[in-house]
Amino acid sequence: MTSEPVTQELTTVGACVMQPVELNQCLGIDGAAWTQFASHWEDLAPDRYAADLGTRRLRRYGHFVFSPAGGTFEPTMHDAFIQPEDSNPLYIGTDRHFEPLTDAFAKDPLLQRILAALGGLAMALADATEWDVKVTPFRVLATAGGAGQPTPEGMHRDGVTLVTSLLIGRRNALGGESTVTDMAGRPVLATTLEEPGTLLVGDDRRTLHGVSPIRPRDPSRPAQRDVLVVTFAPSR
């Protein structure tokens, strides 16, 4: 189900962009499926931790356990989002509480397919019999008066094995360039995710990532950037 060239690039280079045509084929969908999937992003909740830093960000959070043997993703009890040590300097030691995924989103067959495809990539990076999978849909908003920071923490790790960002939609947005570097800050990849269904994947054990601010193209209206961030870390 996962693409051989993407797996190859991820394991050698450490990061890779998968274009929608390739991802759609992997998932067995056509481009129109993203329009319907995007409706879940109309039902997110404010991120008060980002608000403290002056950024308007909406999100939800879900936690699954992936068992490769059965190919299953079991939702866990809703829990606090704990940033692993040695990763995101802003939030280490701070449990953050976010609204859970809606039922409609958690059970969306397209989400299940996306998770299965990403699970294949995680397995290419490490052998584990059980994986912690964290699922976060994000919307970052910006106005003429205030840029929107997709990653207010700057370049960082998530403290996991596989980190992925899937572009769901951009409206009226300039900027939002994703950068991946090695641990010494040398560039690995830079790209602006523009089209729904574009997927950025990275080996979080050996790369840092960050996204530049967005701002409105037309200053009279807000800019927004919707992504789905999914991470995988071995739990067993």
Residues that bind Fe ion in the complex, under the rule CB under 5 A: 158
Q: Is 28 or 154 the residue whose CB approaches Fe ion more closely?
A: 154
Q: Is 24 or 164 the residue whose CB approaches Fe ion more closely?
A: 164
Q: What is the nearest approach in angstroms of Fe ion to the Cβ of residue 66?
A: 19
Q: What is the nearest approach in angstroms of Fe ion to the Cβ of residue 136?
A: 9
CA atoms of 167 and 229, how far apart (whole Å): 9
Q: Is 29 or 228 the residue whose CB approaches Fe ion more closely?
A: 228
Q: Is 158 or 226 the residue whose CB approaches Fe ion more closely?
A: 158
Beta bridge partners of 131: 66, 234
Q: What is the nearest approach in angstroms of Fe ion to the Cβ of residue 166?
A: 13
Measuring CA to CA, which residue among 173, 175, 99 is closest to residue 138? 99
| Residue with the shortest CB distance to Fe ion | 158
Spatial contact of 186 and 215, defined as CB atoms under 8 Å apart: no
Helices and strands, number each (H, E), in the chain: 6, 16
CA atoms of 90 and 94, how far apart (whole Å): 9
Q: Radius of gyration of the chain from Cα atoms?
A: 17
Q: What is the nearest approach in angstroms of Fe ion to the Cβ of residue 217?
A: 25
Residue type for 153, please?
A: E
